Amino acid sequence: MESTFVMIKPDGVRRGLIGPIITRFEQKGFTLIAMQFMHLERSLAEQHYGEHKNKPFFNELVEYLTSGPVCAMVWEGRHAVANARSIIGKTNPVEASPGTIRGDYGMDITGNIVHGSDSPESAQHEISLFFHSAMSAPMFMEISDFGHTAN
Ligand code: GDP
Ligand code: MG
């Protein structure tokens, strides 16, 4: 069983897409194990996208990510990282297939609605950053708390 970090970005929250996006993850077969609605400090946004700090779009990206609340989540399931990337779709909504979240809801490469970790290692790093750092400390639930076993 694997966990992945997913974040509905400010445009997704603003457009009322929290419900539809959570529904897609539930319908795919994921189990939600942590969720936090939060407004990111600039430092957390910069850390989260640290790998892109030398890219020309970095400042725009951080401005965007701190422009409103986000919904940070941890989803668990088989091959969670790859399955999440698959239902999220390609980075640029222009290239994302219809049926994916970005393909169905997005039009802009910066405002592409949702984030999903790109490897199990980055998932663990991002989960630590958002759910175990001094900046935020929500409660984690165990899979067994739901009274069933995830697929
Ligand atoms: P992801 O893993 O599919 O989200 O894509 P990346 O890790 O490559 O990029 C992180 C985020 O930066 C993307 O989700 C976009 O919001 C943004 N981004 C990526 N590439 C570009 C770009 O070429 N231009 C702009 N403006 N934003 C970009
Ligand atoms: Mg990425």
pLDDT digits (tens, 9 = 90+) for 7-54: 999 999 999 999 999 999 999 999 999 999 999 999 999 999 999 999
Is the shortest distance between the CB of 88 and ligand 1 below 6 Å?
Answer: no
Is 24 labeled as ligand-binding?
no
Is the shortest distance between the CB of 24 and ligand 1 below 6 Å?
Answer: no
The interface pTM score, or ipTM, of the predicted complex is 0.97
Q: Do residues 36 and 131 lie in contact, with contact meaning Cβ atoms separated by under 8 Å? A: yes
- What CATH class has 2-146? alpha beta
Question: Which atom number of ligand 1 is nearest to the Cα of residue 85?
Answer: 3
pLDDT grade for 134, boundaries at 50, 70 and 90: low
Q: What's the rounded Cα separation, in Å, for the pair 131 and 37? A: 11
Among residues 133, 104, 110, 145, the alpha carbon closest in space to that of 38 is found at: 133
> Residue 137: its pLDDT value, please?
47
Q: Do residues 102 and 88 lie in contact, with contact meaning Cβ atoms separated by under 8 Å? A: yes
**Domain boundaries along the sequence of the chain:** 2-146
Query: Is 148 labeled as catalytic in the residue annotation?
Result: no
- 15 CB-side CA count, 13 A: 15
Is 92 labeled as ligand-binding?
no
Q: What's the rounded Cα separation, in Å, for the pair 8 and 3? A: 16
Is the shortest distance between the CB of 115 and ligand 1 below 6 Å?
Answer: yes
Among residues 116, 110, 44, the alpha carbon closest in space to that of 77 is found at: 116
- The CA 28 to ligand 1 mean position distance, Å, reads 24
pLDDT digits (tens, 9 = 90+) for 66-120: 999 999 999 999 999 999 999 999 999 999 999 999 999 999 999 999 999 999 9
